[in-house]
Amino acid sequence: MNLFETIHTTEHEQVVFCHNKEAGLKGIIAIHNTTLGPALGGLRMWPYATEQEALDDVLRLSRGMTYKAAVAGLNLGGGKSVLIGDPRQDKSEALFRSFGRFIDSMNGRYITAEDVGIDVNDMEYVFQETDNCVGVHQVHGGSGDPSPFTAFGTLQGIRASLSHKFNNEEVGDYSYAVQGVGHVGFELVKLLRNEGAKVFVTDINEEAVQAAVDLGCEAVALDEIYDVDADVFCPTALGAIVNEQTIPRFKFKVVCGAANNQLATEECGDELERRGILYAPDYAVNAGGLMNVSIEFEGYNRERAKRMMRTIYYNVSKIFQIAERDGISSWKAADRMAEERIATIGKLKLPFMGRSHRFPGRERGHN
């Protein structure tokens, strides 16, 4: 693989490989674009089969963060980081503190947060080495677990989708197939059930499924979720699950969920359009967690975060309007909306060159 040719193609600004043998650290930080501000994106820990697989993932995810921040109207760029390892057995204080030092050495160009395989306790160790992380525990002035906010934002996207498709945004009037009831998925299920909605669920974790069933959901097998006769499909786990094999099985009228990179290919987004299935672009729908942690820059306030997340309704609605106006698929309309904002703001200022961030009311302790 030609790394420079790859990042030229993906338009990344910077890729940093992080290694510390004593700490067991093998990590990658990717900064895609800093036109709108410093690159913000979560830290993911996953037992990647190969280093190439880890690199592909971090490049894909960091690019997605650029578009997510732009559509959300935030003054942030896109970045992401990954750690190669099993989150169930490879975590250690040394690992996260070592990684925190790499982040700190970037002088504010990259700000990290929680992602798959990482929790607030892991972020405590990162926080000991750098101010450039968000989503830390509330005792430090942070916002804590972003999952409830991502789920709340997803609900706003669902409302916008229902309004556009059915001219009725009453959540309880429709049925939902939720794929994945982890942190975000379970929070979404609770919100849907609070509205009185019929909800089907599936997950590899049987305990998580049972918890959802206890809330009144109906469980289905992992592969059967694509065949459920529900109005809305809510992917809230893996990416690339809207693909050539699954789309022909859909009876859904709307696809709107919190998972990243739901479309296996752009052509799959076009195929949904041809079949009359409304697709709410994932990075516009799942921006609630990003919006939530972004408020930490100015001093965290939970009520302000909730109000900010309501803008997801209007962002998703605007994407549908652009799609109709320009005669394009919704995924393309979302990209166009993001790219137009980056181009416009890019004319006003130079790309972000890096500076240390100071978060009001936060105290960083050391052991």
Q: Residue 114 has what DSSP assignment?
A: B
Q: In sequence order, what are the residues at sequence separation of 6 or more whose Cβ sits closer than 8 angstroms to the Cβ of residue 254? A: 158, 161, 162, 165, 231, 232, 233, 277, 278, 279, 280
87 with 212, same domain: the answer is no
The percent of residues above 90 in pLDDT, for the chain, comes to 75
What integer pLDDT is reported at residue 16 of this predicted model?
97
> Rounded to two decimals, what is the model's pTM?
0.86
152 with 32, same domain: the answer is no
Structural domain boundaries enclosing 89:
3-66+77-133
**Active-site residue identified among 21, 26, 68, 80:** 80
State the Cα–Cα distance between residues 291 and 312, nearest whole angstrom: 10
State the Cα–Cα distance between residues 346 and 331, nearest whole angstrom: 22
Residue 365 resides in a domain:
no
> Buried b vs exposed e over 333-365: b needs ≥16 C-beta within 10 Å?
bbbebbeebbeeeeeeeeebeeeebebeebeee
The percent of residues above 70 in pLDDT, for the chain, comes to 92
33 with 122, same domain: the answer is yes
230 with 82, same domain: the answer is no
Q: Mean of the pLDDT values across residues 87-105?
A: 97
What integer pLDDT is reported at residue 307 of this predicted model?
85
Residue 167 resides in a domain:
yes
Q: Kindly report the CATH number assigned to the domain that includes residue 43.
A: 3.40.50.10860
169 with 202, same domain: the answer is yes
The band of 73, judged by pLDDT with boundaries at 50, 70 and 90, is very high
Residue 242 resides in a domain:
yes
Q: Kindly report the CATH number assigned to the domain that includes residue 283.
A: 3.40.50.720
Residue 161 resides in a domain:
yes
Two tokens, residue 125: 């160790």
What integer pLDDT is reported at residue 228 of this predicted model?
98
State the Cα–Cα distance between residues 116 and 180, nearest whole angstrom: 13
- 103, 118, 56, 57: which is closest to 289 by C-alpha? 118
122 with 151, same domain: the answer is no
The band of 6, judged by pLDDT with boundaries at 50, 70 and 90, is confident
Question: Is 183 in a helix, a strand, or coil?
Answer: helix
Q: Mean of the pLDDT values across residues 78-86?
A: 97
Looking at per-residue pLDDT, the higher value among 172 and 6 belongs to 172
Report whether pLDDT(83) > 60. yes
Report whether pLDDT(140) > 70. no
Q: Mean of the pLDDT values across residues 10-39?
A: 96
107 with 183, same domain: the answer is no
56 with 32, same domain: the answer is yes
> Buried b vs exposed e over 162-198: b needs ≥16 C-beta within 10 Å?
bbbbeeebebeebbbbbbbbbbbbbbbbbbbbebebb
Report whether pLDDT(187) > 60. yes
Q: Mean of the pLDDT values across residues 85-106?
A: 97
The band of 144, judged by pLDDT with boundaries at 50, 70 and 90, is low
204 with 100, same domain: the answer is no
Report whether pLDDT(186) > 70. yes
165 an active-site residue?
Answer: no
The band of 119, judged by pLDDT with boundaries at 50, 70 and 90, is confident
What integer pLDDT is reported at residue 355 of this predicted model?
56
Largest separation between any pair of C-alpha atoms in the chain = 58
Residue 72 resides in a domain:
no
Give the pLDDT confidence of 262-319 residue by residue, as tens digits: 999 999 999 999 999 999 999 999 999 889 888 887 777 878 888 888 999 999 999 9
Residue 366 resides in a domain:
no
82 with 223, same domain: the answer is no
86 with 212, same domain: the answer is no
State the Cα–Cα distance between residues 181 and 202, nearest whole angstrom: 7
Q: Mean of the pLDDT values across residues 105-119?
A: 91
Looking at per-residue pLDDT, the higher value among 123 and 178 belongs to 178
Our count of domains for the chain comes to 2
89 with 188, same domain: the answer is no
Residue 336 resides in a domain:
yes
Report whether pLDDT(220) > 60. yes
232 in Cβ contact with 171 (< 8 Å): no
Two tokens, residue 350: 């130079």
Residue 49 resides in a domain:
yes
- Lowest mean pLDDT segment, chosen from 2-6, 255-259, 317-321: 2-6
